[in-house]
Amino acid sequence: MQAKAYAKINLCLDVVNKRADGYHDLKTVMQTVDLYDSLTFQIKESKEKKIKLTSNHPGLPLDCRNLVCRAAELFMKLTGICLDIEVHIQKRIPVAAGLGGGSSDAGCTLRVLNRWAGEPLDWAYLSVESKAIGADVPFAVYGGTALVEGIGEQVFPIPKKENIGLVLVCPRISVSTKSVFQRYVLDDPMEEKVLVVAEALKKGDIRLLGQNLFNKLERVTIKDYPLIGEIKNMLMNAGAFGAVMSGSGPSVFGVFPDLDEARKAEQNIAYRLGRSVRTFCIKTVEGVIYEQ
């Protein structure tokens, strides 16, 4: 069985407060895009639990540091089904880039195992329980477009009128999410702007969406990596309605009027920045698509 694990972007990201446990409550609109890892599964029931991971990515951990392993463990714990699982992860989503690649792989694993077993678990229940794996996994179980709150465990799907053309630019650097949050200084919440982003998606108003993109973590990451600011300017000069960093960075994306404009911009930026970045012309996608 094969499946696609789609990357996510944050169309807006508001840091609401810092919790007593050290984590931060967020309010963000997440969106899956058609940049994806391909996961190939071999699954069978077994008397003895076994999880084997392989990957084309030489730096990817293949033990239970990998969220795919933790997702398989969680599924077996929740269902009581003992499985022998082999998963090959064909990695395309850049690692440590603010695109939720590891969480996407975990969410994909949960969906595939649940589907293989005849859907013994309700999707909402599976999403809530998956917060034990990582903050972005509850959203990754659903995919599509959603308002996400808390530390990521509260997911509220948003109906979106149309797919959106984007240019994604990923500098070849890794950013520590933990370090970014440790250095973040709280300010006033921007709940109204989050609601504007959600409303723009419902209306299909891409210009309004672009004008209201924001990410409060950007100001922390950009101090270490000024290239992020340069990429934002390049995207805007290339015709984007708006451009912003995703997650804790360093990836930056721009919202364009259509895919043709996005392709032109992506080619121009790829030429100008060369091998210092990876560039993608992508579009938003709705939910999960399985490939047999």
Structural domain spans, the chain: 2-158, 165-283
Closest CA to 107 of 250, 252, 253, 287: 287
Question: Is there a shared CATH topology between the 2-158 domain and the 165-283 domain?
Answer: no
Q: Tell me, what's the pLDDT at 292?
A: 30
Annotation: CATH topology of 2-158: Ribosomal Protein S5; domain 2 (3.30.230)
As given in the structure block, the two tokens for residue 230 are 């340069």
Q: Tell me, what's the pLDDT at 165?
A: 96
- Which residues on adjacent β-strands are paired with residue 48? none
Longest Cα–Cα distance of the chain, Å, equals 60
Q: Tell me, what's the pLDDT at 159?
A: 87
Q: Please tell me the distance from the alpha carbon of residue 142 to that of residue 88, in angstroms, as a whole number.
A: 22
| CB atoms near residue 221 (< 10 Å) | 24
The burial of 187, by beta-carbon neighbours within 10 Å (0-12 exposed, 13-18 middle, 19 or more buried), is given as exposed
Residue pair 249/10 in contact by the 8 Å Cβ criterion? no
Q: Tell me, what's the pLDDT at 291?
A: 33
- Provide the CATH number for the domain formed by 165-283 in this structure: 3.30.70.890
- Residue 275 DSSP label: G
With H, G, I as helix, E, B as strand and everything else as coil, classify residue 166: strand
Q: Which residues are catalytic?
A: 8, 136
Q: Encode pLDDT of 273-287 as tens digits.
A: 999 999 999 999 987
Reported pTM: 0.94
Q: Please tell me the distance from the alpha carbon of residue 237 to that of residue 140, in angstroms, as a whole number.
A: 32
Residues of the chain below pLDDT 50: 289-292
Interacting residues of 115 by C-beta distance below 8 A, sequence separation 6+: 290
